[in-house]
Amino acid sequence: MADKKKDEELELFEESTAEETAETVEEEAPAVVDEKQGFDPLHAEHGPLNQMVRTNFLEYATYVICDRAIPALEDGLKPVQRRIMHALKEKDDGRFIKVANIVGHTMQYHPHGDASIADALVTLTNKRYLIEGQGNFGNIFTGDRAAASRYIECRLTPLARNEIFNKELTEWIASYDGRNKEPVSLPCKLPLMLMLGADGIAVGLSTSILPHNFIELLEAQIEILREKVRTPAELNLLPDFQTGGLMDVSDYNKGNGKVKLRAKIEMRKNNRLVITEVPHGTNTESLTASIEDAVKKKKVPVRSIDDFTAEKVEIELTLSPGASQEKAMQALYAFTKCETSISSRLICLRENRPVEMTVDEVLRENVKQLLIILERELELKKAKLLDDFHNKTLVQIFVENRIYKKIEQCKTYEAVYKAIYKGLEPFTNQLKRAVVDDDIEMLLGVRIKRISLFDIEKNRKDIEEILAELAQVEKDLSGLNGYTIRYIKRLIKEYKDQYPRCTESASFKVADVRELTSTELQIKQDENGYIGTNVKGEIILECSSLDKLLVIWKNGQYKVLPPPEKLFVDDSLERCEIFDRDKLFTAVYTDARITYMKRFAIGGAIMNREYYLSQGEKSKLQLLVDGTPEAIYVKYRPAKGQRIHQQRFNPNDIAVKGVKSRGNRMTTKSIKYIGDEPGRWWDQNDDGAIPEGVLL
């Protein structure tokens, strides 16, 4: 039977494919393909498979955007979060419930695995506002994971229970399998998306919404309702993170841009620093690992690290003897995760379509939605009060005027109805709506004890209370803005102490990293011809790990390279210094018995590649000085018939050229001494008879 069914499905698929192909052929003329050139996929028409792939990919992209990754503007929740909250509400009895039970119940609505539901529930719980946890839900400071869902319990917070649910105002749709009903969105009265924040990656777009302080959002809503804010820019709402720390919002603009975050570091006695708050997105474990890595690279002068974090962050750093606390703090910000940055891009779903918004626009939309929900709640309350008034007034009329006596002689049910209708006619002016058959059924169900004087008095008192409450509801509806402001103020009063601001706003002074690390490394030279940071010997240079070094040999060869641990240079090293591509040099070298002079700057160079200042490895570098000296003094070796024994050359006579240029010819004589200043070898008595050197 199964094989027969598969054959039938295959036949139907082939028939439908053939029909689609035929329609495609009729609607679109086939492309002309030159057989000599072969098939051209860029210009030839494609078959139904192409269309199927396009359609399926579009449907998948839409599903990921709308049903998984991006929160909705209406209630600020992603689908999995909304389903978790709905499941918690259905199970809510005020007591803690096993998380595993909630996960299982949520799976009736969420067509994905239990692990993703459990992770989302733990994340919501750690954000404090909606779910209260009992047990090990992990630690946002240390990065410890939560216990298994069978060991931990949760329940709705009073804030969630009272402010985001209303069955009468909720629109419902069928769940993925059609067995249950789930909410399209919750009638949320809170600016939940900005309170919680959100991260999501979908097909073709991503969102990163930073969390904000609950009380500040409520205060901004009051300002909007009072119409004191004329433009969105005046709200000036800034993110707030549970982990605290310091925040620089110079590159942040109303929900978009970048926020720089820093750990809060305190200076203590005995040359210690203590980290008391960590940046959002990091934890004590990753922060400590980054500090240890920086210590190994000798970027931070820390001798020991002790992590005493429990309920609060406390990482104690003992500095090396003689280290400056201020400079050590700057180094921590420069080289570890004590300073991080977070990019923000506020994309959400509005009416099931992705839109990019600002924080101010989102909050204004939240205020509009709050007004609508509160108005609908008041209308529902008004309708319920009117029903209560109508019912109690009917009972009062029915009992006080003894209308029930008129049905004693009625022989049919229809006669009973007519008798009660007729008995109520003189009193219809006391009612706020017409009497219907359901009202008669209600009156016929009145118990005999209601006829007593006690119950009549109580009924009158209830009617008075209903009328007073109804008048208040009418007043609130006519002044909806004022009612909304009072509602928000009540929330502020109730939760202000519970949700203070955690992150402090500040302006960061960016430390000069090269200045911090200028003496980080020591380049030494030993007797065996090695130089580097891992060499024992005489210090020839202090530098930073960020620097590039210029190493020049006596034959004119040079390299640009990072600070080496160990490099063999033999005894032919001319100089080693920090590389500056624009630095001007004056060099004198001999190649093939001819001596040349040139002025040049190194310019660009590829790391670790060999270059030559001279014309090749057989050259000899006679002199290399920084800049342009006033003169170059040369003493020649004695030779038969030689009349000129020393000369002075002016380097300013030659132009600055590239490092690869040959330079200007100085002399063919053999040089014994050379320098940019006259040494003891210079014959001062011959100054007047010394001819000035000519550079050709």
10 SS3 class: helix
Dihedral pair phi/psi, residue 661, rounded to 5°: -70, 155
**Phi-psi map region of 583: left, alpha, beta (phi>0 left; psi -120 to 50 alpha):** beta
486 SS3 class: helix
Q: Out of 129, 151, 404, 487, pick the active-site residue.
A: 151
Dihedral pair phi/psi, residue 539, rounded to 5°: -75, 125
For 277, the token pair is 């708050």
Taking CA atoms, 476 is separated from 187, 382, 481, 532, in Å, by 20, 11, 9, 80
Helix (H) or strand (E) holding 598: strand 594-601
557-561 and 530-532 strand pairing: unpaired
Q: What is the largest CA-CA distance in the chain?
A: 162
Instruction: Give the C-alpha separation, 373 to 164, whole Å.
Output: 10
Dihedral pair phi/psi, residue 209, rounded to 5°: -105, 120
Helices (H), 182-299: 192-196, 214-225, 284-296
Catalytic (active site) residue 176: no
For 688, the token pair is 């007047």
Core vs surface per residue 219-228: b (16+ CB within 10 A) or e: bbbbebbeee
Helices (H), 308-358: 325-335
End-to-end Cα separation, the chain, in angstroms: 103
Instruction: Give the C-alpha separation, 597 to 355, whole Å.
Output: 67
Helix (H) or strand (E) holding 156: strand 153-156
Core vs surface per residue 524-563: b (16+ CB within 10 A) or e: bbeeeebbbbebeeeeebebbeebbbbbbbbbbbbbbeeb
Angle in degrees, CA 250, 255, 257, rounded to 5? 45
Query: Residue 452: how many CA atoms within 13 Å on its side-chain side?
Result: 7
Say if CB 163 and CB 191 are below 8 A apart.
Answer: no
Say if CB 230 and CB 493 are below 8 A apart.
Answer: no
3-state secondary structure labels for all residues of 424-448: HHHHHHHCCCCCCHHHHHHHHCCCH
Instruction: Give the C-alpha separation, 603 to 614, whole Å.
Output: 15
Give bridge partners of residue 13 from the DSSP assignment.
Answer: none
For 295, the token pair is 């210590």
| Catalytic residue positions, numbered | 151
